[in-house]
Amino acid sequence: MTELNAGATLRHTPLHAMHIRLGARMVPFAGYEMPVQYPSGVIKEHLHTRAAAGLFDVSHMGQITLRPKSGRLADVALALESFVPADIAGLAIDRQRYTMFTNAAGGVIDDLMVSNRGDHLLLVVNAARKAVDAGLLRASLPADCLIEVHEQRALLALQGPLAEEVLSTLTPDVRSMRFMDVRSLTLLGKTCTVARSGYTGEDGFEICTGAETAAVLWEALLRDPAVAPIGLGARDSLRLEAGLCLYGADLDETTSPIEAALEWTIPNVRRPGGAREGIFPGAEVILDQLDRGVPRRRVGLRPEGRAPVRAGAPLFLAAPDEAPCGSVTSGGFGVSLNAPVAMGFVPTANAIPGTRLFTEVRGKRLPLAVSALPFVPRRYKRA
């Protein structure tokens, strides 16, 4: 069998001891030792999240607050707009938005969540990119924006159709929240920042809190029979089925938001003719791509057989020998679909759902079909 193990000096989240106590298998991930699965295993954890409520420790993700010295949030909101192609100045209090840091070439430095907390902005960024992101902000934000990177905070995600019911036992206020709402709520006597969002395609919440509260909250939530702890293994299969991008796989500094089919994150106000058109890094490239199209696009892929097709697999237009037309960037097994699923980049002309392509796995040509994303319906509470 191929190699099973590796070791290194790794950081711990505030919930590390909880994972060990639950019998989690811990693996290195983005500089942290994280639970990849608990004893029940990836398949049960994935299905539990879709059927009930899954509890995830995502404290490895970066939390950064941006605060205006002036006291006027518009000052930092406008300043942040010179890093991202989103409408931050128009982001209402207690609302959150998905966007990305772009570079001068139109590539993606990181994807992130931004929420308006009234007197500050809260950014949640990828674990592996938080040093890059913080460096970028420190180097280029005006001096009247105070930047704080929270190293000791925790982030819990409660995801699934029963998430609202479970969390409402701690505070009924969550019932009135919609997808992407953010509120400061008292949970177990402590003030936490709660967002109705997540990265599984399910309805659910992300709870930002201090290290000590996180441990108490984690245990309280797990006492609810609807809740099970879920590791990074199922987190990845859930997000892939939901058609969501993984930074470093589907997104990187050479991939533009338009190629990645994330143009929906760029509102009219930042597009040509908009009040705050352009300004963000790579705007010229990205806005030109919006206008004239891109040569390649991110698509969903459904292998015809049972064999999973993994990241890095080449894609071909036809079975006979030829140069690859693209490649798979995320691939694995869609547990809810009981079938392999993947995402990859293909020529725009071939990005139409139903198009038959080929890949090569261990020297064998295998057919797969371009598929609409997401693979499973997203169940966000929008109304």
Partner 1 sequence: MKYTKDHEWLRMDDDVATIGITAYAQEKLGDLVYVELPSVGVKFAMGAAAAIVESVKAASEVYAPVSGEIVAVNDRVAGEPGLVNAQPTGEGWLFKMKISNPSELAALLDEKAYTALTA
CB of 233 to partner 1, least distance (A): 5
SS3 state at 239: helix
Compare residues 132 and 307 and give the one whose CB is closer to partner 1.
307
Q: What is the enclosing helix (H) or strand (E) of 28?
A: strand 25-29
| Angle at the Cα of 281 from the Cα atoms of 275 and 286, rounded to 5 degrees | 75
Compare residues 234 and 287 and give the one whose CB is closer to partner 1.
234
CB of 139 to partner 1, least distance (A): 36
Euclidean distance between CA atoms 375 and 166, whole angstroms: 26
Compare residues 223 and 364 and give the one whose CB is closer to partner 1.
364
CB of 333 to partner 1, least distance (A): 4
CA 231 and chain centroid, separation: 15
Euclidean distance between CA atoms 247 and 7, whole angstroms: 23
CB of 3 to partner 1, least distance (A): 9
CB of 339 to partner 1, least distance (A): 9
Euclidean distance between CA atoms 311 and 245, whole angstroms: 13
Compare residues 33 and 81 and give the one whose CB is closer to partner 1.
33
CB of 41 to partner 1, least distance (A): 5
3-state helix vs strand vs coil in the chain, percent to 5: 25, 35, 45
For the sheet containing 53-57, what is the strand order?
182-187, 190-195, 204-209, 154-159, 53-57, 227-229
Compare residues 45 and 203 and give the one whose CB is closer to partner 1.
45
Compare residues 80 and 368 and give the one whose CB is closer to partner 1.
368
Binding residues for partner 1 (CB under 8 A) = 1-2, 4-5, 25, 36-37, 41-44, 46, 233-234, 236-237, 306-308, 310, 332-333, 335, 340, 362
CA 154 and chain centroid, separation: 16
CB of 226 to partner 1, least distance (A): 22
Compare residues 27 and 136 and give the one whose CB is closer to partner 1.
27
CB of 156 to partner 1, least distance (A): 22
SS3 state at 14: coil
Q: Which residues contact 199 (CB under 8 A, 6 or more apart)?
A: 157, 235, 238, 239, 242, 244
| Angle at the Cα of 159 from the Cα atoms of 158 and 165, rounded to 5 degrees | 75
Compare residues 188 and 307 and give the one whose CB is closer to partner 1.
307
Compare residues 209 and 237 and give the one whose CB is closer to partner 1.
237
CA 162 and chain centroid, separation: 21
The residue with tokens 């590796």 is 6
Amino acid at position 125, single letter: V
CB of 220 to partner 1, least distance (A): 28
SS3 state at 284: helix
SS3 state at 335: coil
Compare residues 4 and 139 and give the one whose CB is closer to partner 1.
4
Q: Which residues contact 353 (CB under 8 A, 6 or more apart)?
A: 299, 300, 369, 370, 371, 372
Number of Cβ within 10 Å of residue 2's Cβ equals 3
CB of 234 to partner 1, least distance (A): 8
